[in-house]
Amino acid sequence: MADPRHFLQLKDFSRDEIEHLFARTRWIKERFKRYERYWPLADRTLVMIFEKASTRTRLSFEAGMQQLGGFAIYFNTRDSQLGRGEPVEDAAQVISRMCDVVMIRTFEQDIIERFARHSRVPVINGLTNEYHPCQILADIYTYIEQRGSIRGKTVAWIGDSNNVCSTWLQAAEIFDFTVHVSTPPKYEVEPDRAGLYSTDHYEQFPDPMEAARGADLVTTDVWTSMGFEAENEARRRAFQDWQVDAEMMGMAKPDALFMHCLPAHRGEEVAAEVIDGEQSVVWEEAENRMHTQKALLEYVVLGRVTG
């Protein structure tokens, strides 16, 4: 049996592979919009394991798998033996004998890596404390769809250097663009934790307005990610000046886009006038989670499909 092709962080895939996924996304999305049936994963099963809450990730994988002709099983660790201490290695052995692909949303990256090492089938990261690769597949695809190539462009990341930020930084290395990151002091990017090869594709700015200057895309995320709720109050104080508002968008290029992985907190990391404004593409971004993940499911289960 060939080794399964896992997608545990964005850099697990080469630029060529991600470009293949984007070509397939375009094709799959067009067919879907024309109501044309495409069932390459008929009789295949996806198991989705969630240790944290989700709306978009669960729905986009579940709907996407059904649209590809397959089945999706939702699994919450709270009501499974995983939540009662069954070793992740044992769970991986068992679960991966009963399905064709697994998606996991969990806490530490180490958990998904251990699962993948013992899995007979491909494992997809649906968000860990460290990374959110499926999100950035959709984000880059959305940028390309709206504006063309992202190569050489500037992305401003305003706020927490969290899982989504780290994945943007990996994307910058893969696609050769620059990220201007602005975080409050003590929340700066740690290149090792972000899984970066170098510091060449990003620059840190103490002032978020300066990070936004001249950007082609401005993006942000919640101040407190899932699993870090105990830090909520301290973060609310530290991040006060890191809200993307109209004045900050005004520092970016006039045709700059605004993205947010969602869920958003209006009045915290983003002003309503921005997320609900004309430069915002957050709904397209959310929809593209499904289309890009359908291409991803096709690729990890069937390999390179052309058609």
Radius of gyration of the chain (CA): 19
* 260 touching ligand CP, by CB under 6 A: no
* 194 touching ligand CP, by CB under 6 A: no
* 10 touching ligand NVA, by CB under 6 A: no
Annotated catalytic, 260? no
The CB-of-56 to ligand CP minimum distance in angstroms stands at 4
| Contact between residue 245 and residue 187 where contact means Cβ atoms under 8 Å apart | no
Residue selected from 154, 163, 219, 288 as contacting ligand NVA according to rule CB under 6 A: 163
C-alpha closest to that of 123 among 28, 21, 9:
9
Tokens of 230: 């105990």
C-alpha closest to that of 46 among 164, 130, 126:
126
Q: 56 or 180, CB closer to ligand CP? A: 56
Query: What letters, b where the CB count within 10 A reaches 16 and e where it falls short, cover 77-92?
Result: beeeebeeeeebeebb
Cross-strand pairs, 158: 182, 220
One-letter amino acid for residue 210 of the chain: E
Of these residues, 134, 261, 291, 293, which one is catalytic? 261
| Entry field: residues in the chain | 307
Number of residues that bind ligand NVA (CB under 6 A): 9
Annotated catalytic, 221? yes
**Which is it for strands 202-204 and 217-220: parallel, antiparallel or unpaired?**
unpaired
One-letter amino acid for residue 30 of the chain: E
* 226 touching ligand NVA, by CB under 6 A: yes
* 261 touching ligand CP, by CB under 6 A: yes
Binding mask 54-73 for ligand CP (x = CB under 6 A): xxxx----------------
C-alpha closest to that of 143 among 281, 293, 4, 15:
281
* 222 touching ligand NVA, by CB under 6 A: yes
Residue selected from 9, 67, 225, 243 as contacting ligand NVA according to rule CB under 6 A: 225
> Considering only 21-29, 51-59, 90-98, 212-220, which stretch makes contact with ligand CP by CB under 6 A?
51-59
CA 232 to CA 209: how far, in whole Å?
24
Cis peptide before 263 (omega within 30 of 0): yes
- Specify the DSSP element, H or E, that contains 39: none
Q: 44 or 58, CB closer to ligand NVA? A: 58
Of these residues, 135, 243, 279, 293, which one is catalytic? 135
> Considering only 89-97, 157-165, 203-211, 247-255, which stretch makes contact with ligand NVA by CB under 6 A?
157-165
Annotated catalytic, 279? no
Tokens of 180: 């201007």
> Considering only 12-20, 178-186, 217-225, 252-260, which stretch makes contact with ligand NVA by CB under 6 A?
217-225
Catalytic residue numbers read 105, 132, 135, 221, 261, 289
What does the binding site for ligand CP look like in residue numbers (CB under 6 A)?
54-57, 127, 135, 261-262
What does the binding site for ligand NVA look like in residue numbers (CB under 6 A)?
127, 162-164, 221-222, 225-226, 261
